[in-house]
Structure 1
Amino acid sequence: MDYTFSIKGVTDIVCGARCTSTPYCKSFHYDLNTCYILNYPGIGSVNITSFYGSENWTDSCSVDGYPLYGGRFCMKMFKTNKIWSKANKTCNQDGAKLLIMKSEDFFLKKEVIDQHGGGHHYWIGGNDLEKEGDWIWNDGSPLQSNQWEAGNPSNLYDAEHCLEFGPLRFNDQQCFKPVFFICEKLKY
């Protein structure tokens, strides 16, 4: 396998975080506690765009109806269109929250979505409802990401305050648009 560099003795989450902090890294390979940061575009001949882990991604989870992914979080994709506030309420009533995709786990969660429901737009747990331009996750932490679609967040018509994901990156969207959604519960 061609790669730019590798790091031994790290977790898959650390590997993903290293990729997101490496300029132009679009993918990485993780196997047997070794992280391979793949070639920058145009260098070498390997073009791998998926996350490969040694863990079983579809283990059972201690949370009913929420499959375990990556060994640490449980996600449930709802293929029912709801506005953002109703999607958020559904997750909360289920003891969950809308999915949070921070940089350290972005690629792992993106791969799960791609494998189990790709090609759709989903509400996830970010918004700038309190103050325009101050994007936060539902846990109150700032949304700091370079995973926005080009030209976003755009706040088109001064009305896009909720975060959707799909099919590849983040997009700010009108909160009253009915969209599929993803809830998440932590395993621990």
Structure 2
Amino acid sequence: MQGLEHITVLGVFFQSVGCEQIWKRDVRFDDKVFLSESNVKSKPLYVLSVMSCGRLCKKNGTSPAFSHIEDKCYCYSNRTDGQSFTFLEGAQYYFLSDDYFFLSDEKNCKDHNYQYLSEIRVCYKDYNDSKIWQDANKKCRSDGGHLIMLDTVGKLSVFQNIIPKNVYYWVGLEDMDQDGTWIWTKSTSKDFDRKLWFPGEPNGNEFCGMVQYLPSDPRAGIFDLICDSPSRFICEM
């Protein structure tokens, strides 16, 4: 559906046995505050961050959605579909998802000396040594994982802010058949979204995917590279 973008951003506000429910963005309801009397639980709360807004809305009772802008937080007593609203440019809308994040994921990550990114629920390891793509893929497999699958703009943006500048990193994307069909090694049935290419890519006889952060052009995107070029790599578990 056009205009719908679900991005996992928060993972701590509803706790059950061994798991936590998570908040997600729904940009269809951005730039609005839903002001019907039955929907707004109270006047805006004043908060330091979107995470504080989520915590407060859950703390104040059953609140399955909220809007946040700057230091203001609007807690809703129900989902906003069909409710009246007023425009408030810059407001961001979040809802409590039926997805669950299992608390054991983070422990399992640490047990394997990997790092955990809760905002995108990714367990990863940045390897400093350089390998060709095939050997990097084998190393990740030996860990029980795979080369990282950056299959959304949100994931790409997060990792672009983590990796060093002007350094190549292999990801789990390849076209080994050289037929123009790019596949993720983690999930070969998942179609590759060509909008994830960096502008101008792919651009030659290069059949393995990589990412890098270019200070001169910080847009997030995937590049193609010759598979036998030694590069650093990121594994995901």
Question: TM-score interval w.r.t. the shorter chain?
Answer: 0.5 to 0.7
In 2: Cα distance, 1:14 partner to 1:131 partner = 37
In 2: Cα distance, 1:144 partner to 1:176 partner = 24
Greater share of strand residues, 1 or 2?
2
In 2: Cα distance, 1:35 partner to 1:79 partner = 41
Amino acid at match of 2:117: Y
In 2: Cα distance, 1:84 partner to 1:102 partner = 18
Instruction: Tell me the alpha carbon deviations over residues 7-28 of structure 1, each in whole angstroms, 9 at most, x when there is no partner.
Output: 9x9843853x859xxxxxxxxx
Change (3 A) 1:60 1:142: closer
In 1: Cα distance, 2:27 partner to 2:66 partner = 12
Task: Tell me the residue number matched to 2:60.
Answer: none
Superposed, 1:1-188 pairs within 5 Å as 11-12=8-9, 14-15=24-25, 31=51, 32=54, 61-63=107-109, 64-70=112-118, 72-103=121-152, 106-108=153-155, 110-115=157-162, 117-119=163-165, 120-138=167-185, 139-140=187-188, 141-154=190-203, 156=204, 159-167=205-213, 168-185=220-237
In 1: Cα distance, 2:229 partner to 2:175 partner = 16
Unaligned runs of 5+ in 1: 20-28, 38-45, 47-58
Amino acid at match of 2:123: C
In 2: Cα distance, 1:73 partner to 1:131 partner = 29
TM-score after normalising by structure 2: 0.52
Structure possessing the higher relative contact order (Cα contacts under 8 Å, 6 or more residues apart): 1
Task: Tell me the residue number matched to 2:37.
Answer: none
In 2: Cα distance, 1:177 partner to 1:132 partner = 20
Amino acid at match of 1:147: L
Contact 2:210/2:223 (8 A) holds in 1: yes
Alignment size in residue pairs:
145
TM-score after normalising by structure 1: 0.64
Amino acid at match of 2:161: D
Percent identical: 26
Contact 1:82/1:178 (8 A) holds in 2: yes
Alignment RMSD (CA, Å) = 3.5
What SS is found at the alignment partner of 1:180? strand
Unaligned runs of 5+ in 2: 10-22, 29-48, 55-64, 70-89, 91-104, 214-219
Contact 1:61/1:67 (8 A) holds in 2: no
Contact 1:126/1:136 (8 A) holds in 2: yes
Change (3 A) 1:108 1:102: closer
In 1: Cα distance, 2:68 partner to 2:128 partner = 34
Contact 2:106/2:123 (8 A) holds in 1: no
Larger Rg: 2
Task: Tell me the residue number matched to 1:41.
Answer: none
